[in-house]
Amino acid sequence: DKGRAMDIRPSDDALATQSHPFIRIHPETGRAALFGCAGYIIGVEDMDAAEGMTLLGDLYRWQTQHAFQYRHKWRAHTLLMWDNRAVLHMATGGYSGYERLLRRTTIGARA
């Protein structure tokens, strides 16, 4: 994808169709979180395609409400960390013209 700043190379396992619950319980906090990323979900089990896509659209609009958003203002030497089990991450820019160094670190077991 020419619009991406990074090259994503998923494994065969990552490309395989998987089933996941809509609601996940965070293992440390015990809080419920809506799970899913609109760009990767292809349907909803036990729903016809149109109904499933309508539900997914509704859930995505809920997840991305302004009231739930944190927007970071980048500065030199910034380190930002988040827990993907509890957030929906979306890069929105704001760093054009600056060199960026990104390192992904995965800590702990899979949720």
Where along the chain do its domains lie? 9-111
CA pair distance 111, 105, nearest whole angstrom: 15
Residue type, 20: H
Q: What is the reported pTM?
A: 0.68
User: How crowded is residue 20: how many other Cβ atoms within 10 Å of its Cβ?
Assistant: 10
75-108 pLDDT, tens digit per residue, is: 888 888 888 888 888 777 777 787 777 787 777 7
- Distance (Å, rounded) from C-alpha 86 to C-alpha 16? 23
Residues 6+ away with beta carbon under 8 Å from 41: 56
- What average pLDDT does the chain have? 83
9-111 homologous superfamily: Clavaminate synthase-like (3.60.130.10)
| Whole-angstrom distance, CA of residue 97 vs CA of residue 92 | 14
